[in-house]
Structure 1
Amino acid sequence: MKHILLIITILFACSCTRSKRESKNVITPEVSNDSLLTLVQKKTFNYFWEGAEPTSGLARERIHIDGDYPEHDQDVVTIGGSGFGVMAILVGIERKFITRQQGADRLRKIINFLSKADRFHGAWPHWLYGPTGKVKPFGTKDDGGDLVETAFMAQGLICVSQYFKDGNADEQQLSKDTEDLWKEIDWSWYRNGNQNVLYWHWSPKYQWAMNFPVSGYNECLIMYVLAASSPSHGIPAEVYHEGWAKKGAIKSDAEQLGYKVLLNYNGAEGHVGPLFWAHYSYLGLNPKGLKDRYADYWQLNKNQTLIHRKHALENPKGYKGYGENAWGLSASYSVKGYSAHTPDNDLGVISPTAALSSYPYTPTYSMEVIRHLYQDLGEKVWGKYGFYDAFSETDNWYPKRYLAIDQGPEIVMIENGRSGLLWKLFMSNTAVQSGLKKLGFESPYLKQ
């Protein structure tokens, strides 16, 4: 009898434990829009908080809930995704997911790690090993500085510096150390011999062998803005206008699905890129009222978002589930491996980050997607760290996997849509304001 009672007690305990574990992902259909946004932000925040690599405090490149990792992959941290992550920590403080002191302590750990990690003329590599701070090559010849990933980190560092600059003595020191760290980036070196263009990579072993001058519109606008803004290793305006903007050839008169494209994406006339192009550079750089001789950047990003949505509504390939509640193509996991999904490269895969991170541009439409994913698809797409990276109803494909570079923009851009937090911080930096003026930008933040 005692044995029977013991078995019953064990089974009951296991059942309770399982119920508690499952309750963490419980779906509450009646939740308000405001509460749902906070819930999405909190779950996504935990990717960068609970899921961080412990030695560095930085974001792991990926977290697979299904456990299917390459060997030692959990030690790999991403510089760009971690730049989004430090901004997420600021959101966590403001939303009271953590205390201000907890956030400052974690950021201090991150800054200390970054100051000692491998750098190449001030630029960090794409990947680092969290336990050692040593470079993990992204590719055979991509084993040195990655200026684009570094720009994403620098964007976050500037926000951190601004956030703490008027705090107590310890916070002011954190602010100064963070400011100093981004000023050490030698943007001018990446002109590859004073050319009027910036190069993506440099390696001490392979030098400029990657040979990737960044020219024509993509996700890299922030790199040119920060390079022009640097008070220590800045670039002249010609590098932006001749390299990035291709002496004006970046402008486009093309339309897609009734919306003007405005800029030639990566040099291809009328091409519309994956939606992360409307997110990565604008986590701190506020596109509202941001204009130069080439484009109105709010209109640019809103139009790109609306093109993606209309593509899903028209659904030319007849994919299952596409429509007003499920749209948005971006770079993410895919049924055919990692892919940069666009209307021209549509594999039937929806990347939740696309619509979620477009919340500032299309709040009503993005909210429809968020509620559909949460209420209707539920645990197929919703897990420990918020919405999983990608899914396909057509292929009945629902991998339980996350990528830092897709999770980060969700929490940050939702916050920008709600309060403008990161936009206000980044745009208040005087060096950034000087850089934007140098390049000929207009913005409500620029003092005349």
Structure 2
Amino acid sequence: MKLIEEELKRSFLFFWEAANRKLNSPGYGLVVDNSAKPQMASIASVGFGLSALPIGVERQYITYDQGLQAARETLKTLLRIPHFEGFLIHYVYLDTGKPKSGVEYSTIDTAILLNGVITVDQYFSDPEIHECFQRLYLRVNWSAFVFEKDGRSLFRMAYNPVKGGAYRQKSDSPWIWQWDMMAEQLSLYFLAAGSDQISAETAQALYQGFSRNRGSFGGYDYVYSPGNSLFVYQFSHAWLDFHRFVDATGFDWAENTKIATYGNREWCIQHKDQYPIFSENIWGVTSCLTPAGYRGQGVAPNDSLTHPNGHSDGVVAPCAPAGSLPYAPEIVIPALEQLAAQYPKSFGQYGFTDAIALTEKGLWISPDYIGIDKGITLLMLDNYLHQTTWKLYMAHPMIQKALNKLGFQEKK
């Protein structure tokens, strides 16, 4: 457990030290997206960074007053970040808060950000923070990103008015894709359901609107995401404690994540001859840095036309097992311990680096850290040990309202 506690502390320090902490800076509180590009922040990193603050206070890494000030000033910054119908732009410059040219207004990244805002609102119970929460949350026009397709109510993924910009190299429409499949967007339905703008009927239609395809690999059967990268079973779960609830149909998202985690490990074990980094205790296929840059990777079952049996660049991302710690500690703890023992240089200033690989040139260890990967590591390690984020987020009145509107029930 010493390794888990040390990784927890170092992951927190990433969010404290890789953030803009210059008071009176227009970018105060923004958090680096990729440590290799320290000038650029992502709003998803900020969402994880906000959720890190109560953890830091509770673990005495920072004082209560430090956490309170950081939360207040970060929320003030967020009110100045460009948005479209309340959905924030994906990437901004760390020092100024100005948007990166051509990037999209993202639903999932806004959801992760709002999850962090909700967490600090519940923890600090501060009038100034609550006012900022209200302004950030109430300005979101959920209906603007909802549409009907083939009889289903769906959320759009993103909006980009810049032709030729991100995700619009070939499209004439400013609307970018839709959440029509099981992926990392579950918390989006709770955020919308908590709003008085959205009726219970609409909230339930949106939640039921995405496809739930079942598949299996190595004897592990579960509802899988088309690309089957492990992070999709973790991101919303960092805030939503699905251990306690099932949905109106009785479906158990926590159990689904556990099975997906075992399936991910089994895929790695069965492909250890193809990818020499993999072994019984060294596994984890997710989106992460690779020797070729940041890449999406996933296991089978998989709907990819080019990689129907799954695909890896032969890298292991420590955040992959770490993000599943509360769901499968019996296989995650040995994995993290083996990584630290076998590849000690993968454990650096901010804990585990983003990824490692065995290549033709030898051992490759990413020198860089990714904000969302450190974020899922931090929140899930703490949820396993202390449940800080789960307790705060699930207690927020808006989330309580969403649970009721969506028909989620406490497990018996």
Counterpart code for 1:181: L
Match of 2:193 in 1: 228
- Specify whether residues 184 and 443 from structure 1 end up closer, same or farther in structure 2 by C-alpha distance, changes over 3 A only: farther
2-structure distance, mates of 1:216, 1:259: 20
- Specify whether residues 208 and 189 from structure 1 end up closer, same or farther in structure 2 by C-alpha distance, changes over 3 A only: farther
Cα contact 1:201–1:208 (8 A) shared by 2:
no
Counterpart code for 1:372: Q
1-structure distance, mates of 2:199, 2:108: 15
Match of 1:307 in 2: 263
Match of 2:285 in 1: 329
Counterpart code for 2:291: V
Of 311, 320, 334 in structure 1, the residue corresponding to residue 276 of structure 2 is 320
Aligned runs of 1:2-401 on 2, under 5 Å? Answer: 33=1, 35-54=2-21, 55=25, 56-64=28-36, 73-137=37-101, 140=102, 142-143=103-104, 145-165=105-125, 171-191=126-146, 196-205=153-162, 208-231=173-196, 233-234=197-198, 236-238=200-202, 240-241=204-205, 243=206, 245-246=208-209, 249-252=211-214, 254-261=215-222, 263-266=223-226, 273-292=228-247, 293=249, 295-315=251-271, 317-343=273-299, 344-379=310-345, 381-395=346-360, 396-401=363-368
In the TM superposition, residue 135 of structure 1 has moved relative to its aligned partner by: 1.6
Cα contact 2:161–2:174 (8 A) shared by 1:
no
Cα contact 1:79–1:149 (8 A) shared by 2:
yes
Match of 1:15 in 2: none
Q: What RMSD, in angstroms, separates the aligned Cα atoms of the two structures?
A: 2.3
- Specify whether residues 239 and 182 from structure 1 end up closer, same or farther in structure 2 by C-alpha distance, changes over 3 A only: closer
In the TM superposition, residue 240 of structure 1 has moved relative to its aligned partner by: 4.8
2-structure distance, mates of 1:304, 1:88: 26
In the TM superposition, residue 36 of structure 1 has moved relative to its aligned partner by: 2.0
- Specify whether residues 444 and 178 from structure 1 end up closer, same or farther in structure 2 by C-alpha distance, changes over 3 A only: farther
Secondary structure of 1:62's partner? coil
Structure with the greater alpha carbon radius of gyration: 1
2-structure distance, mates of 1:309, 1:420: 25
2-structure distance, mates of 1:238, 1:436: 14
TM-score by length of 1: 0.80
Q: Taking every aligned residue pair, what percent have the same amino acid on both sides? A: 26
Match of 2:404 in 1: 437
Cα contact 2:162–2:174 (8 A) shared by 1:
no
Secondary structure of 1:212's partner? strand
2-structure distance, mates of 1:304, 1:193: 30
Secondary structure of 2:88's partner? coil
- Specify whether residues 237 and 217 from structure 1 end up closer, same or farther in structure 2 by C-alpha distance, changes over 3 A only: farther
In the TM superposition, residue 281 of structure 1 has moved relative to its aligned partner by: 0.7
Q: Which structure has the highest helix share of the two?
A: 1
Length, aligned pairs only: 384
Q: Which runs of 5+ in 2 are unaligned?
A: 164-171, 300-309
1-structure distance, mates of 2:160, 2:316: 35
2-structure distance, mates of 1:373, 1:193: 46
Q: Which runs of 5+ in 1 are unaligned?
A: 1-32, 65-72, 166-170, 267-271
Deviations 1:234-270, CA, capped at 9 Å, x for gaps? 36544653x55347x5253x32211111x2524xxxx
Secondary structure of 1:401's partner? coil
Cα contact 1:251–1:294 (8 A) shared by 2:
no
Deviations 1:173-205, CA, capped at 9 Å, x for gaps? 323433442232221211159982111112355
TM-score by length of 2: 0.87
1-structure distance, mates of 2:93, 2:204: 33
Secondary structure of 2:41's partner? strand
Cα contact 2:146–2:153 (8 A) shared by 1:
yes
Cα contact 2:285–2:297 (8 A) shared by 1:
yes
